[in-house]
Amino acid sequence: MTNDSSFNLMDKIISLCKRRGFIFPGSEIYGGLANSWDFGPLGVELKNNIKKLWWKNIVFQREEIVGLDSSILMNSKVWEASGHLQNFYDPLVECKQCHNRFRLDSLPVSPADPEKKQDRLSCPLCGGELTSEKKFNLMFKTFLGATEESANAVFLRPETAQGIFINFKNILTAMRGKLPLGIAQIGKVFRNEITPGNFIFRTREFEQMELEYFVNPQEADSWFNYWQTERLTWYDSLGLKRDHLREREHNLEELAHYAKKCVDIEYQFPFGWSELEGIANRGDFDLKNHSQFSGQDLSYFDEKSGEKYFPYVIEPSVGVERAFLAILLDAYAEEHDENGDLRVVLKLNSKLAPIKVAVFPLVRNNEKIVKKSREVFNLIKSSFTCDYDVTGSIGRRYRRQDEIGTPFCLTIDYQTLEDDSLTIRERDSMNQVRVKIPEIIGWLSQMFNS
Ligand code: ATP
């Protein structure tokens, strides 16, 4: 679907995000900082909802999975042991003419010989000759303390996973863990990407939601299949359209240095099918290497079999921002309302919606209606994230809430003053029902839980 209308969709999403307070360009008043983005009042709610739903599904609903929040800065030996210092690089080429830099593997290959990297076409911007490939390490380096000496060098973590591996023994002991054991973490990571872009799809600072699931090596394949199914089911539960998702297994050339197998869950973004989440079998690479480099034994003693071994690790890992983008793209719709007017509606799953309920007094100049509306707002605001809006016609107020995906709008009108009922209008069907105010919390709770 990489046609004009899908690129158009991306432009519409970017514009909606800025206009309605989901995402702003980073450092905007100083002319910006390329490919950095700030999440505004609605963006932070949507992001938090994604993280909460992931945590609930991965940690709260499973007995054998626990959480962790490890440091971003770690001893540099972590990155030596994990192989990131030697292997976490992208192949960089530069155009000899215009000096733009590209990731070699993102350039189109010669159709005559697609396997050979050397046959990548010339510079996609000016047609100039490209330099030969250089290794470009993606980790951001900084220094601890006041002197920039190499002994004080540390790296901003490029994945949350290593914080989990180095705490494996601590958690196993503290939680009296047995395999299978999962450790989950959500946190910021940093990668000095050569070609960031496509809005929030590829940035240099982003959040990951990662699970490291430690298993008996003999059971690794079946757990891999299990997590593939579980993760697709999670996207279903968020309402992502199944035909916008597909799975793609990495070939040997693509596999990360630590991986035995990797399957990407790809989403059909406007710029083409691209990775949304990666599921990897990391084998025993990390625990073995950390044991060797740290001198600490990170193997596991299996009481059932009497064996000692390094567990294998199955890792589903997804970027919060990529999930955010896929969710917005999937939810965006343009429709005609009952009067034939075009309405933009974000058909977000109600669990994801940044605002759950909006409260409107029908008119702003009737004291009793305004007072009643405030009472309703105060009644529900501790149960649901709410918005209170008095500006413009009811129709306009509906449009504003549709555009940010608010599932329900409550209008307090003249009839409310007589029988204590109000109108609830549902976002997608635009159907309206009247409900008595004392029943409102129960009614909404039932709708949100159904
Ligand atoms: P890609 O091939 O797109 O560079 P990757 O295979 O390097 O991604 P992983 O290391 O598997 O990505 O990271 C797990 C997840 O983190 C990805 O599936 C993606 O959702 C997210 N992610 C990775 N890099 C970025 C980035 N630069 N910006 C935003 N999210 C990212």
| Residue bearing the CA closest to ligand 1, atom 24 | 202
**Residue 367 and residue 314 share a domain:** no
pLDDT tens by residue, the chain, 450 residues:
445 566 699 999 999 999 999 999 999 999 999 999 999 999 999 999 999 999 999 999 999 999 999 999 999 999 999 999 998 988 889 999 999 988 888 787 766 655 555 556 788 889 888 898 888 899 999 999 887 777 788 999 999 999 999 999 999 999 988 999 999 999 999 999 998 999 999 999 999 999 999 999 999 999 999 999 999 999 999 999 999 999 999 999 889 888 999 999 999 999 999 999 999 999 999 999 999 999 999 999 999 999 999 999 999 999 999 999 999 999 999 998 778 888 999 999 999 999 999 999 999 999 999 999 999 999 999 999 999 999 999 999 999 999 999 999 999 999 999 999 999 999 999 999 999 999 999 999 999 998
| Residue bearing the CA closest to ligand 1, atom 4 | 202
Asked whether 281 and 224 are in contact (CB, 8 A), the reply is yes
Domain membership flag for residue 294: yes
State the distance from the centre of ligand 1 to the C-alpha of 383, rounded, in angstroms: 35
Give the orientation angle of helix 367-380 with respect to helix 440-449, to 10 degrees.
50
State the distance from the centre of ligand 1 to the C-alpha of 158, rounded, in angstroms: 10
**Residue 176 and residue 288 share a domain:** yes
Domain membership flag for residue 105: no
**Residues of the domain holding 389:** 355-449
**Residue 380 and residue 300 share a domain:** no
**Residue 218 and residue 163 share a domain:** yes
Q: Is 124 helix (H, G, I), strand (E, B) or coil?
A: coil
* Closest to 101 measured CA to CA, from 203, 191, 194: 194
d(CA 446, CA 450) in angstroms, rounded, equals: 6
DSSP-derived secondary structure letter, 42: H
**Residue 302 and residue 439 share a domain:** no
pLDDT of residue 181: 97
Domain membership flag for residue 365: yes
Q: Residues 338-375, buried b or exposed e (16+ Cβ, 10 A)?
A: eeeeebebbbbbbbbbbbbbbbbbbeeebeebbebbee
**Residue 324 and residue 220 share a domain:** yes
d(CA 115, CA 46) in angstroms, rounded, equals: 41
pLDDT of residue 124: 86
Q: What is the CA radius of gyration of the chain?
A: 26
* Closest to 20 measured CA to CA, from 403, 431, 419: 403
Q: What is the atom index within ligand 1 of the atom nearest the CA of 202?
A: 28
pLDDT of residue 6: 65
**Residue 306 and residue 194 share a domain:** yes
**Residue 399 and residue 317 share a domain:** no
**Residue 370 and residue 295 share a domain:** no
d(CA 157, CA 78) in angstroms, rounded, equals: 10
Q: Write the CATH number for 244.
A: 3.30.930.10
Domain membership flag for residue 96: no
pLDDT of residue 2: 47
Q: What is the atom index within ligand 1 of the atom nearest the CA of 208?
A: 16
**Residue 309 and residue 218 share a domain:** yes
Q: Write the CATH number for 403.
A: 3.40.50.800
pLDDT of residue 341: 86
**Residue 392 and residue 303 share a domain:** no
DSSP-derived secondary structure letter, 3: S
| Residue bearing the CA closest to ligand 1, atom 29 | 202
Which of residues 309, 328, 347 is at a domain's end?
328
State the distance from the centre of ligand 1 to the C-alpha of 58, rounded, in angstroms: 19
The number of folded domains in the chain is: 2
State the distance from the centre of ligand 1 to the C-alpha of 73, rounded, in angstroms: 20
Distance of CA 196 to CAs 120, 121, 202, 428, Å?
A: 20, 20, 5, 35
Domain membership flag for residue 89: no
State the distance from the centre of ligand 1 to the C-alpha of 292, rounded, in angstroms: 28
pLDDT of residue 162: 98
Q: What is the atom index within ligand 1 of the atom nearest the CA of 322?
A: 20
Which of residues 293, 328, 363 is at a domain's end?
328
**Residue 24 and residue 166 share a domain:** yes
Q: Is 113 helix (H, G, I), strand (E, B) or coil?
A: coil
State the distance from the centre of ligand 1 to the C-alpha of 196, rounded, in angstroms: 11
- Name residues whose C-beta falls within 8 Å of residue 272's C-beta, 6 or more positions apart in sequence: 2
Domain membership flag for residue 406: yes
Which of residues 328, 343, 368 is at a domain's end?
328
Strands 332-336, 245-249: parallel, antiparallel or unpaired by DSSP? Answer: unpaired
State the distance from the centre of ligand 1 to the C-alpha of 348, rounded, in angstroms: 24
- Name residues whose C-beta falls within 8 Å of residue 140's C-beta, 6 or more positions apart in sequence: 155, 156, 190, 191, 192, 204
Domain membership flag for residue 234: yes
Q: What is the atom index within ligand 1 of the atom nearest the CA of 201?
A: 29
Domain membership flag for residue 263: yes
**Residues in the ligand 1 pocket, defined by CB under 6 Å:** 191, 193, 202-203, 206, 208, 275-278, 317-319, 321-322
Q: What is the atom index within ligand 1 of the atom nearest the CA of 158?
A: 10
State the distance from the centre of ligand 1 to the C-alpha of 322, rounded, in angstroms: 8
